[in-house]
Chains A and B, each alone.
Chain A
Amino acid sequence: MKGVNRSIENKVVLSVQVFLLVCFYIFALGVFTFLWYAVYRSVVDNDHPAHAVILASVITFAFLILVSVVTMVFTVVIKEGQKKVPDNGGSVNEGEM
């Protein structure tokens, strides 16, 4: 019974961790939408689109780096954690299985 409870708790923890990552992606997607919608409007209105394109490109590049770093750290740490820490959201010590 205790083992089942622990397994459920682990799954909940893992779900929350994945949820946090998804929230970050949604936030980043919101920023990209904001940037490129402004570019779209400036092109449609012929309102000096060069300004918008340059700025949106720079910020998009910066955000892509941030998204890559977060994805890299989250996925590696969570995956490894699942293997090594049975209390923390994953199958028990995969390496020994």
Chain B
Amino acid sequence: MEALKPDRGLGKEEKVTEVKDEILYQPIMKTGRGFYIVFALLSLVVLFAVFAYFRQIKYGLGVTGLNSPIFWGVYITNFVFFIGVSHAGTLISAILRISKAEWRRSITRSAEVITVLVLFFGLGNILIDLGRIDRVMVVLVHGRFQSPLLWDVVSITTYLTASAIYLYLPLIPDIALLRDRIKGGLRGRLYQVLALGWAGTEKQIHYLERGIAIMAVTVLPIAVSVHTVVSYVFSMTIQPMWHSAIFGPYFVAGAIFSGIAAIIVAMAVLRRVYHLEGYFREVHFNNLGILLLVMTCLWLYFTFSEYITVFYGAEPDEIKVFMEKFTGRYAPHFWIMVITCFIIPFTILANNKTRTITGTVIASISVNIGMWLERYTIVVPTLMHPRLPYETGMYSPTWVEWSILAGCFALFAMIYMVFTKLFPIVSIWEVQEGREKAHDEVAERLRTYLPS
């Protein structure tokens, strides 16, 4: 509890703790030249994406590869991918918090930020896909709850709100620490407002902890429902290879899979750039690597179940889509997906010797590429062979779509960078609390789990 008190005096041990954690303030207090260079380069990518988007607004969706019957492409793929990655933070952080996994303490913040940011990009891609952005009002004013598209709107709004609250609550004590360090200026005022007058009183600690606990429990069903509802957008239709009962859990498993991979990549970058080797340790990568390995196997199981059912059913419309993925135009995408989502990560992560930090990061990058391709091979081939008597469609994304995709990733990186400059990317008070509680908890664990 002491860790939650920003105004406490420093004892000998606490001074050591403060010195130890000093590095967590460094990204906020100092900004090197590298930051500005990377920021400028990313800005160029974003500006080009903005140019591409304005071109799309001016000339319409005709500048994309979208056509009839393939009316969903890269944007919807991005939407499903980003919403999937959003399961990184809140869901995983909530699970680890509820299960009292002690090793979570230094990684939860970096994961929770990913969640809140990528949700905006998920929603943003839907708006881009609309073509005419003013049509959003049609959804708001004339939307019908029979449509899974509207279920998506409300569930993602709820998830975004819950995730933002879940990110903010544990930030309050850390913002108070910054408020006490940085006086005056725009930043000082920002911290003063956002700290809400946090002083670490017993009552404040009690209510904050209660709030975080309620949010951790509340956010879990919301997160699961979000990706289930995203899958319903596809499975509630009777399109070939979309109308599947396992799409809900398949999407949720895929989301957690790509979410864990995203956390690992973010942790590796932060560790390298801000020298946070003491906070993002081998044990974190190893534990998340094992989780990723479990999800790799689960992903293979779901994918196998999904495809074997379609193959044995051999329903003509479904087989067309199936063959398109296995041997047709989308075979390269499909097989690269299998290699990147299973063969590479499984080979690396199943072996203790290769499950190092570098190995885990390579596996995670591979998984993220594979999961984007998975979303792409779910969306496009089905629309290429719809059940209705359309001509077989063809779809090749144009430079506009690729630019906007690159712009999304660049903008995400930029906002994430700005966040690390404003707030501690590792929860300082949680780390300190972990140190304080460690001995008692180990004693309690030994007393509870082992025979006396």
Contacts and interface: CB of A to CB of B under 8 A. Distances in A.
Contacts of B196: 17, 74, 77-78, 81
Contacts of B197: 17, 77-78, 80-82, 84-85, 88-90
Contacts of A76: 203-204, 207
A42 interface: yes
A59 to B, nearest CB: 5
Given A72-B207, A73-B169, A62 B222 contact: yes
Interface string B145-169: 1100011001101100110010001
Contacts of A27: 161
Contacts of B208: 73, 77
| Interface residue tally on B, bucketed by range | 35 or more
Nearest to A75: B207
A42 B142 CA distance: 10
Nearest to A73: B211
B210 A72 contact: yes
A48 B146 contact: yes
Given A20-B193, A62-B222, A52 B199 contact: no
B142 to A, nearest CB: 8
Nearest to B221: A62
A70 interface: yes
A80 B199 contact: yes
A47 B147 CA distance: 12
B275 interface: no
Contacts of A42: 144-145
B145 A88 contact: no
Contacts of B287: none
Given A84-B201, A88-B192, A66 B145 contact: no
B149 to A, nearest CB: 13
Contact of A62 (B145, B162, B169, B207): B162
Nearest to B139: A34
Contacts of B195: 81, 88
Contacts of A13: 189, 192-193
A72 B206 CA distance: 11
B347 interface: no
Contacts of B411: none
Interface in A40-92: 41-42, 47-48, 51-52, 55-56, 59, 62-63, 65-66, 69-70, 72-74, 76-78, 80-85, 87-90
A88 B193 CA distance: 8
Contacts of B165: 66, 69-70
B144 A81 contact: no
B143 interface: yes
B207 A77 contact: yes
Contacts of A72: 207, 210-211
A48 B70 CA distance: 30
Given A55-B154, A66-B218, A77-B204, A16 B145 contact: no
Interface in B161-201: 161-162, 165, 169, 172, 179, 189, 192-193, 195-199, 201
Given A34-B140, A72-B207, A73-B169, A66 B199 contact: no
A31 B199 CA distance: 33
Given A38-B143, A62-B222, A85 B199 contact: yes
Nearest to B211: A73
A69 B145 CA distance: 27
Given A77-B208, A81-B204, A69 B214 contact: yes
Given A13-B189, A90-B197, A62 B203 contact: no
A63 B179 CA distance: 30
Output the residue of B7, B143, B145, B198 with the most chain A CB within 10 A. Answer: B145
Nearest to A90: B197
Given A34-B140, A55-B151, A80-B203, A69 B211 contact: yes
B215 interface: yes
6 contacts: A38-B150, A62-B222, A65-B214, A80-B201, A81-B196, A81-B198
Interface of B: 7, 140, 143-146, 150-151, 154-155, 157-158, 161-162, 165, 169, 172, 179, 189, 192-193, 195-199, 201, 203-204, 207-208, 210-211, 214-215, 218, 222
Given A39-B145, A48-B146, A81-B197, 18 more contacts: A13-B192, A13-B193, A35-B154, A55-B151, A66-B165, A69-B211, A72-B210, A73-B207, A77-B196, A77-B204, A80-B197, A80-B199, A81-B198, A82-B197, A85-B198, A87-B192, A88-B197, A90-B197
